[in-house]
Amino acid sequence: MGVEFLTVYWRDMVKFFRLKAMLFATLIQPIVWLALFGPAMANYFENNMMGMAAIPGTVSVDYLTFMSAGIISMTILFTCLYSGVFLQLDKQTGLLKQMMASPMKRKHILFGLSLGGSTKSLIQAIIIIIFGFILGVRFFEGFTSINIIISIFGILLFVVLFAMGLMFLSQAIAMKMESHEGTQAVITLLTLPLFFVSNALYPLESMPLVIKAISTVNPLTYFINGIRYFSIGKDFYSFGTNYTYTTNDILISFAFLLGFMIVMYFLAARIFKKAKIV
């Protein structure tokens, strides 16, 4: 994308590290969720599922490990979608107008901001994995060194695809809305359904048929499938359910996230192209 694209990205990352409150909130949020919500939920479900033996030959995974993938997805979902609020602020202060009036191509702005959000998401995912080990999350258990390296690469790839798609979506919303409050309201309206109509915290088998059907078109579901496959394994037992993932399942999840990212890019690019900032 050239120097212009990198300039937008660099500006976004410099702002991120200079705003101490935003930096602190971004880094501490996943730790707070995992430290407070994780053990409490894990203790509750494990007490209520005592006596449910795992299927012979499968790896038994505690609920804290199971839900950690959900915490990763939730953190990225909130971080990327709410980034649209900051773009809305740039519109209101006139900074975005100056950027779009410059010789810089508008798609450079789009890609620069999206890559910035993806970088923040990668940082958060790494924090959750590291802090999770401290709490007792058993990622990569039984994996060989080669498998761990491949799995980390797979996790990072899925994070980038998912975060880029969400960033394009959030920027499209911010460019269409006229006010800060409107942008925040639409993003909030999207965030909770996306999170709860997925397999982030509970197995899809325990959900009503309508919610299960909706979850099949939810990118969050496919993202979590990929994270669990790479961090836990292709065959494990947790929360009263035996989970099996084939190579085809993960390729489908990858293709869905890639398609989601491409569709959101064209949507955002179209809106950016037609936008008139006054």
Q: What are phi and psi of 111, to 5 degrees?
A: -70, -40
Closest CA to 121 of 168, 79, 82, 171: 79
Categorize the per-residue pLDDT at 107 as very low, low, confident or very high, splitting at 50, 70 and 90. confident
The whole-number pLDDT of residue 136 equals: 84
Could you report the per-residue pLDDT of 35-52, keeping only the tens digit for each? 777 676 666 666 665 555
CB contact set of 131 (below 8 Å; sequence gap of 6+): 30, 31, 34, 35
Categorize the per-residue pLDDT at 1 as very low, low, confident or very high, splitting at 50, 70 and 90. very low
- pTM of structure: 0.88
> Is 109:1 a contact under the CB 8 Å cutoff?
no
The whole-number pLDDT of residue 277 equals: 64
Could you report the per-residue pLDDT of 58-76, keeping only the tens digit for each? 677 888 888 888 889 988 9
Alpha-carbon gap, residue 38 to 49, rounded angstroms: 16
Residue 54 has pLDDT above 80, yes or no: no
> Is 184:83 a contact under the CB 8 Å cutoff?
no
Could you report the per-residue pLDDT of 197-224, keeping only the tens digit for each? 888 877 777 778 888 888 899 999 999 9
